[in-house]
Structure 1
Amino acid sequence: MASKSSTAPRRAIVIGASTTGLIAAAALARHFAHVMVLERDTLPEEPEWRKGVPQSRHVHLLLRCGEEIISHYFPGLTDELVAAGGRRVDMAGDTRWFYAGGWKARFQSGITMHCQSKGFLEWAIRRRVESLGNVTIRDRAEIDTFTTAPGSVTGVRLKDGEEIAADLVVDASGRNSKTPQRLAALGFGTVEISELPVDVGYATRAYRMPRGARDWQSLIVHPRYPDARIGVIIPVEGDRWLVTLVGWRGDQPPADDEGFLEFARGLSVPDIYEAIRDAEPLTQAGLHRFPGNLRRHYDRLATMPDGLVVIGDAACSFNPIYAQGMTQGATAARILDDCLERRAKHGNSGLAGFGPVFQREYAKFANRCWLISTTEEYRDPLVAPHPPLWTRLANWYLEQVHELSWSDRRAAKSFLEVMHLLRPPASLLSPGLATRVLAHSLFARAH
């Protein structure tokens, strides 16, 4: 932990004990004498989902970029998760993946995803954060509003009237964040919002992992537009499968036993249905609806106050089928750490002007996530009646990349690197890959 000078900021507050908030707390602990995490829920003592995070019972994938960030702040944690029953799954070698009309090439890519229940991951991270000497986690602490001075946020006031002062407040409270309303009420202006509705519905059920040999650990079925059903099986702790079925455009999966299986039977290929039809269910199916992609552009707010930053789903919430949520939140914490570190290296121990600087830096990364999440969705005229012209070319090119990845390992790995937020989407336009993509397209048209 970095030493704190007498002039260093003394306290940071993190709103929300999600994975994003907890990783942010670990990052802030390097720069502040004391970090306080405030969570409105009652936090469970055991690794289980909690009511305030209703989507936590569903499949959550920790992408490779997120794994690297968590390992940076909590060395050895991902190995502990595997030792306790989680799985580290190679996205090409251990995953059987039907994508847009064909099965992706199988090989050891070295690009892994961590598979465990969201509740287990959050609990494990929370235990690590609680062990940090300068971090306190308080549950049942609901925020009423911010306390302010001219041009700045100076802390928070809780619903019970308690006021807690801070040099920096970090909002990691999730998609339902009340920061836009609070800022407007306090005279800081209106936050610009971008939305792209998708109305995704998903249902998840846990199964006992069947005995017997399989050539995969994870099974994914992703459709080709305009089909609108996705299915995912991942292994999690307790020798269980989590099975999530996803649908949109009015075709959401049901929760009843027969309906759940019939929805799985209706996927592009029967593999998930065949895997679970005789498996032992351990839970009833849980449902969740996701209305759409959401960006809150704090980087564009001319009156963004000092003493406040907004990260994770509170700033940008993306369609969960792209599995970016936990990883983009972890990346936000890393960017926050980097911005504070650069500020300290330049001899600036204060935080005047820090919020706008951070939000602009964070927006560069959020733009990448937005591009990955929304490009495919611009196909749907019900989502975007007048999509940007560039999306037609982008979607055609991505179709060719996916088809090429059925047999071309380099193409498959390039796509995985973008999906796992290890490389920007523009890397798919590298000369070598673009040449192979165009050659594939010409060959396919000739036949």
Structure 2
Amino acid sequence: MRLGTTAVVLGGSAAGLCAAGALAPHFDRVLVLERDVLPAGAEHRRGVPQSKHPHFLLNSGRRAIGELFPAFEDDLVAAGGLHLMPSMDAAYLGGEGWSARKRSAMTMVYSSRILIERVLRDKVRELANVEIRESTAVTGLSTRDGRVTGAGIRTPAGEEHVDADFVVDAMGRGSAVSGWLVAAGWPEPEVRTLDAKVTYTSRWYDLPARRPDSWWWRHLVIMPTPDKGEHPAEHEYLVNFFPIEGNRVIACMGSWGLDMPRTTDAFVGTARRVRTPLFAAAMDRCEPTSEVHLTRSTGNKWRRYDRLRTPPEGLAFVGDSICAFNPFYAQGISSAAGSALLLREHLARAGRLDAKFTARFLVAQRKLLGVPWSLAMARDQGYACAVGTEKAPEWRRRLLAAASAPAFGLIVGAAREDDVVDEHFAKVFNLDESLGEMLRNPRVLAGLVRYRVRAALGRHRVPSGFDAQAEPPATDYSPAVAR
């Protein structure tokens, strides 16, 4: 059903492209306004500086994008993306040491952010009624009688105005839309924030043409140490040696509230002080292809448009423009795709794009965003360096800081040995289930208790805690293999 003549999307990054796919069945014309000149291939551009860091595409995001653009995952893999099972293909250094390899419920597609966006652009350009206008800066919104009616733009040819029956803000963390709405008479939306002072730094490498025999793994993950005693600051880092297309990897180190290396020499030196020598040794076997890229704009930020008494009609928000997350938790693209798919579902049921439609969509989106938001808060509220409206009282922060690592370790350990816990943990990680839903499941609780008792008795089914200074074990400890 067509709901109007023209829909306009502000921004042509992943969120905006997903929004275009959601709008296309319901409007005669969809216009995507993008400030940058978009590359034909998988290349970095000014408007997406975070593309130089690793990006996980969670299962919920893969599924949502696949609903919007059929065969997206097939095209991504055909373009070089890697379909892997992390529990088998990743060497994981947890708090107690290297984890054992075993099959699990979770698979993932690994690729760079620039490849994800290139494949998305290709899919959008297949839609006959969608046009992407490049080198086009959005300068404001036009409104009338409580409704957004279009956007002002600036192109190399000059200033102009675009009329629209519906507008989607996909302009990211720095979106100016809330300010334009205030200038038009709406109140400032409540903004919930929590910045845990996360900084991360990355460098790209070409893998060797022939991998060493000991590299059974494709992905290397090093978690922060749970040790509360004296140790190098680098042991607090979250580290990834992240595989992408083209026989390449992104070496990435990040931390909460610590200084991170900014130069290539400092990056290489710092890598030698993380919890295992394998990270630096792997880098030494690869050929660097980039400088060091550092990002500090990582705070959680939720603009609560759903709490406006009369939110603007004819306007929706997807991606970081409404809710941005600490990138460590890999929720951004998947949450944006989920919002776009939700928008398509609401458009399909809509008779009119009136105030009732706006209210219904914002309520449903609030529930959708609440799942990743609660996961981000559960971790980031435990850091003393965190600031923002959601900063926890000191007693609660101390409780979270003391409990989060042991609780996470309990869940990860139980997931190694219990298929039901593993299945639900994979759902939580992939935003298919909230942490609260998982922990209210009687079968999951029974699995956690059983694992805790067996661990206390030293009766592990799957070994763990292998020496961090040694190579991660290659043995497959999957139950069927063990039998």
Whether TM-score is above 0.5 comes out as yes
Residue 201 of structure 2 contacts residue 254 of structure 2 at CA under 8 Å; is this kept in 1?
yes
Matches within 5 A, 1:22-33: 22-33=17-28
Q: Structure 1 residues 303 and 16, CA, compared in 2 at 3 Å: closer, same or farther? A: same
Aligned partner of 1:53 among 2, 26, 48: 48
Do residues 434 (structure 1) and 445 (structure 2) align? yes
Matches within 5 A, 1:258-269: 258-269=265-276
Residue 105 of structure 2 contacts residue 426 of structure 2 at CA under 8 Å; is this kept in 1?
no
Do residues 180 (structure 1) and 183 (structure 2) align? no
Q: Distance in 2 between matches of 1:224 and 1:407?
A: 23
Cα-to-partner distance string for 1:175-217 (whole Å, 9 max, x where unaligned): 1111111111111111100111112111111111122242222
Aligned partner of 2:144 among 130, 149, 161: 149
* Equivalent position of 2:39 in the other structure: 44
Q: Structure 1 residues 265 and 409, CA, compared in 2 at 3 Å: closer, same or farther? A: farther
Do residues 411 (structure 1) and 412 (structure 2) align? no
Q: Distance in 2 between matches of 1:40 and 1:240?
A: 29
Residue 418 of structure 2 contacts residue 447 of structure 2 at CA under 8 Å; is this kept in 1?
no
Residue 156 of structure 1 contacts residue 163 of structure 1 at CA under 8 Å; is this kept in 2?
yes
Residue 418 of structure 1 contacts residue 425 of structure 1 at CA under 8 Å; is this kept in 2?
yes
* Equivalent position of 2:433 in the other structure: 423
Amino acid of the residue matched to residue 134 of structure 1?
Answer: N
Q: RMSD value over aligned CA atoms?
A: 2.2
Cα-to-partner distance string for 1:22-53 (whole Å, 9 max, x where unaligned): 01101110111111100111212221011111
SS at match of 1:25: helix
Q: Structure 1 residues 443 and 233, CA, compared in 2 at 3 Å: closer, same or farther? A: same
Do residues 251 (structure 1) and 251 (structure 2) align? no
Higher alpha-carbon deviation: 369-378 or 391-400: 391-400
Amino acid of the residue matched to residue 16 of structure 1?
Answer: G
Residue 26 of structure 1 contacts residue 73 of structure 1 at CA under 8 Å; is this kept in 2?
yes
Cα-to-partner distance string for 1:419-445 (whole Å, 9 max, x where unaligned): 111222223212122123234445556
Sequence identity percentage: 33
Cα-to-partner distance string for 1:123-162 (whole Å, 9 max, x where unaligned): 1111210121110100111111110101111111114431
Q: Structure 1 residues 224 and 340, CA, compared in 2 at 3 Å: closer, same or farther? A: farther
Residue 375 of structure 1 contacts residue 394 of structure 1 at CA under 8 Å; is this kept in 2?
no
Deviation at 1:315, TM superposition (A): 0.5
Q: Structure 1 residues 61 and 308, CA, compared in 2 at 3 Å: closer, same or farther? A: same
Do residues 115 (structure 1) and 110 (structure 2) align? yes
Aligned partner of 2:366 among 363, 367, 378: 363
Residue 146 of structure 1 contacts residue 154 of structure 1 at CA under 8 Å; is this kept in 2?
yes
Q: Distance in 1 between matches of 2:456 and 2:303?
A: 42
When normalised by structure 2's length, the TM-score is: 0.85
Deviation at 1:291, TM superposition (A): 4.1
Amino acid of the residue matched to residue 299 of structure 1?
Answer: D
Q: Distance in 2 between matches of 1:115 and 1:387?
A: 38
Q: Distance in 2 between matches of 1:327 and 1:350?
A: 25
Deviation at 1:385, TM superposition (A): 5.4
Higher alpha-carbon deviation: 202-211 or 25-34: 202-211
Q: Structure 1 residues 101 and 262, CA, compared in 2 at 3 Å: closer, same or farther? A: farther
Residue 33 of structure 2 contacts residue 133 of structure 2 at CA under 8 Å; is this kept in 1?
yes
Q: Distance in 1 between matches of 2:77 and 2:11?
A: 26
* Equivalent position of 1:240 in the other structure: 248
Amino acid of the residue matched to residue 216 of structure 2?
Answer: D
Q: Structure 1 residues 70 and 291, CA, compared in 2 at 3 Å: closer, same or farther? A: closer
Aligned partner of 1:402 among 406, 412, 415: 412
* Equivalent position of 2:377 in the other structure: 374
Residue 103 of structure 1 contacts residue 406 of structure 1 at CA under 8 Å; is this kept in 2?
no
Deviation at 1:110, TM superposition (A): 4.5
Q: Distance in 2 between matches of 1:446 and 1:239?
A: 44
* Equivalent position of 2:85 in the other structure: 90
Matches within 5 A, 1:80-229: 80-159=75-154, 160-210=158-208, 211-212=210-211, 213=213, 214-225=215-226, 228-229=236-237
Q: Distance in 2 between matches of 1:388 and 1:37?
A: 47
Higher alpha-carbon deviation: 196-205 or 282-291: 282-291
Unaligned runs of 5+ in 2: 229-234, 459-483
Q: Distance in 2 between matches of 1:126 and 1:307?
A: 25
SS at match of 1:49: coil
* Equivalent position of 1:353 in the other structure: 356
Aligned partner of 1:339 among 322, 325, 346: 346
Residue 105 of structure 2 contacts residue 422 of structure 2 at CA under 8 Å; is this kept in 1?
no
Cα-to-partner distance string for 1:346-400 (whole Å, 9 max, x where unaligned): xx24434322321221111111111111201222223245168497497353342
SS at match of 2:288: coil
Unaligned runs of 5+ in 1: none
Residue 310 of structure 1 contacts residue 359 of structure 1 at CA under 8 Å; is this kept in 2?
no
Matches within 5 A, 1:1-80: 4=2, 8-80=3-75
Higher alpha-carbon deviation: 98-107 or 68-77: 98-107
* Equivalent position of 1:287 in the other structure: 294
Q: Distance in 2 between matches of 1:77 and 1:398?
A: 33
Amino acid of the residue matched to residue 13 of structure 1?
Answer: V
Cα-to-partner distance string for 1:81-117 (whole Å, 9 max, x where unaligned): 2222221121222222223334445333342222111
Q: Distance in 2 between matches of 1:100 and 1:336?
A: 40
